[in-house]
């Protein structure tokens, strides 16, 4: 196959777009919750467990606060206390629904045009806990309205995440 010069010039841009779109996908087998009610999800959530990453390393007492923005998207304020220094760290971003707003698949950005997936794949009927994945099995969170959860919810989270291929033996438990 022969490519023209103008076509070759667009290949890096296309590759970049493919890489960016991969970050808003989801792991195999993960299905976002449907019938999602954005207004019920807003408010404060406590991080109960996570797969660790540099942006959260050594943070305890982690919370996520979701509120509605004027443009209809979601304001995201994540905060946590550095276990070494005691300093409270805060990151503010925004989230947009990938499809319609009744399907719990969002893309979240804390850094300009770069988005990562936020997929709620299990949600308590009363919106008291949520299982959340990123674009691959390296990103996983258990969030709850209260800082403590039952053993039943903990066991359900581990079993479900393990069945989907998440490395549950690497979970960091905050509560």
pLDDT digits (tens, 9 = 90+) for 2-13: 433 333 333 333
pLDDT digits (tens, 9 = 90+) for 28-51: 999 999 999 999 999 999 999 999
| pLDDT value, residue 2 | 40
* Residue 129 phi, psi dihedral angles, 5° rounding: -145, 155
What is the distance between the alpha carbons of residues 163 and 175, in angstroms, rounded to a whole number? 23
User: Mean pLDDT of all residues in the chain?
Assistant: 89
- Angle at alpha carbon of residue 132, lines to 129 and 134, rounded to 5°: 170
Q: State percent of the chain over pLDDT 70.
A: 87
Q: What pTM value is reported for the model?
A: 0.86
Q: How many CB atoms lie within 10 A of CB 12?
A: 9
pLDDT digits (tens, 9 = 90+) for 109-127: 998 889 999 999 999 999 9
Question: What would the two tokens of residue 26 be?
Answer: 């989801």
Number of domains composing the chain? 1
Domain of residue 31: give its range.
5-173
pLDDT digits (tens, 9 = 90+) for 53-72: 998 999 999 999 999 999 99
What is the distance between the alpha carbons of residues 98 and 108, in angstroms, rounded to a whole number? 10
Question: What would the two tokens of residue 32 be?
Answer: 């976002």
Element (H, E) at 79: strand 74-82
Question: What would the two tokens of residue 145 be?
Answer: 């309205």
User: Which residues make beta-bridge pairs with 5?
Assistant: none
- Do 37 and 175 touch, CB atoms closer than 8 A? no
| pLDDT value, residue 169 | 98
Task: Please tell me what DSSP assigns to residue 173.
Answer: E
| pLDDT value, residue 133 | 98
DSSP letters for 93-127: EEEEESS-TTB-EEEEEEETTEEEEEEEEEE-TTS
CATH of residue 134's domain is 2.40.128.20
């Amino acid at each position: 196959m022969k490519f023209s010069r103008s076509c070759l010039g667009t290949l890096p841009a296309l590759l970049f777009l493919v890489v960016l779109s991969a970050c808003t996908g989801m792991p195999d087998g993960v299905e976002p919750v449907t019938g999602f009610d954005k207004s019920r999800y807003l408010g404060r959530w406590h991080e109960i467990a996570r797969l660790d990453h540099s942006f959260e390393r050594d943070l305890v007492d982690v919370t996520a606060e979701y509120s509605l923005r004027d443009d209809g998207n979601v304001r995201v304020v994540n905060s946590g206390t550095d276990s070494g220094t005691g300093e409270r760290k805060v990151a503010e971003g925004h989230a947009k629904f990938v499809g319609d707003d009744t399907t719990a698949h969002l893309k979240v950005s804390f850094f300009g045009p770069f988005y990562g997936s936020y997929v709620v794949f299990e949600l308590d009927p009363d919106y008291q806990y949520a299982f959340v994945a990123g674009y691959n099995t390296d990103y996983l969170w258990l969030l709850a309205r209260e800082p403590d959860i039952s053993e039943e919810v903990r066991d359900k989270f581990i079993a479900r995440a393990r069945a989907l291929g998440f490395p549950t033996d690497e979970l960091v438990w905050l509560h």
